[in-house]
Amino acid sequence: MTQAANAEHWQVQGSAAELYERHVVRTMTALWAEDLVGRADLRPGERVLDVACGTGVVARTVAARIGDTGRVRALDINPAMLAVARASWDRAPAIEFVEGSALALPFADASHDVVLCQLGLQFFPNRPRALAEMHRVLADGGRLGLSVFGPIEHNPATFALAQALDHHLGTGASQTKRAEHVLAYSTLVHKLVNEAGFRDITITTETKTIHFASAAEFVGVQLTATPLASLLSEQLARPGVAEKITASVSDALRRYEVDGGLAFPQEVHVLLARA
């Protein structure tokens, strides 16, 4: 899809969205969805919006908690992600999946009680504008819950992959992975949210253990089910390149090998606030 000048840039295409749901959600983002939704203290009947919903894991987690009287909306700019999200939920309450930008939410003022944004804020080209939009659609006293990755050095698998990409493909090849960590410092996140008009801001830094069968599986998922699949397609098609990247990541993560697989820490900042 052609992106407008102010559109979010984290994009996957075609079957990558299905692979993302099958592998990235299962191994990583589902854990953080449970954490974020649990902290949001949802109540039956509330109106909840999931911004940058991806394939819908947060929205599904919300829908399972708020009961049939609640309303769940989920927005993303990526039609491939939304297609998978719609196919992944056929229960009550219904989830309204909406294609649109976080920079111009297509919802009325004060139309939601809770806005959630999991691991998406860092990808918005205009983060103050996105946060202002979230504040606008929240009712007075409504709640915001969002999460962003901590420093890349505290996320060893991503760090190892970024270093391997730069080493084997050239400086800058890891830009997309490193961009996941541009809001790594909680003080910056606090400042952005405060300036958007939110109050009662709290930030908790949480670490969870992520499991993969092997470093090769982790690299395979990253190179097929994330934007790297399209952004680096030509370089990855060269003979032996993917194998070299996998070998480098495997060496870097050897200390995280456990019986039967790989277990490494992942650090995330979780923020709660009120409008």
Residue 20: inside a domain: yes
Give the pTM.
Answer: 0.91
What digits encode the pLDDT tens for the residues 193-205? 999 999 999 999 9
Residue 252: inside a domain: no
Q: Is 68:93 a contact under the CB 8 Å cutoff?
A: yes
CATH number of the domain that residue 105 is part of:
3.40.50.150
In terms of DSSP bridges, do strands 199-212 and 261-274 run parallel, antiparallel, or are they unpaired?
antiparallel
Residue 51: inside a domain: yes
Which amino acid is residue 271, in one-letter code? L
Residue 217: inside a domain: no
Q: Is 93:66 a contact under the CB 8 Å cutoff?
A: yes
Residue 24: inside a domain: yes
List all residues 6 or more positions away from 143 whose beta carbon is below 8 Å from its beta carbon: 40, 41, 113, 114, 115, 272, 273, 274, 275
- Number of independent structural domains in the chain: 1
Residue 263, SS3 per DSSP: strand
Distance separating alpha carbons of residues 160 and 142, to the nearest angstrom? 39
Residue 230: inside a domain: no
Residues of the chain with pLDDT under 70: 1-14
Which residues constitute the domain of residue 110? Answer: 15-155+181-212+266-274
What digits encode the pLDDT tens for the residues 31-44? 999 999 999 999 98
Helix then strand then coil, in percent of the chain rounded to 5, is 45, 25, 30
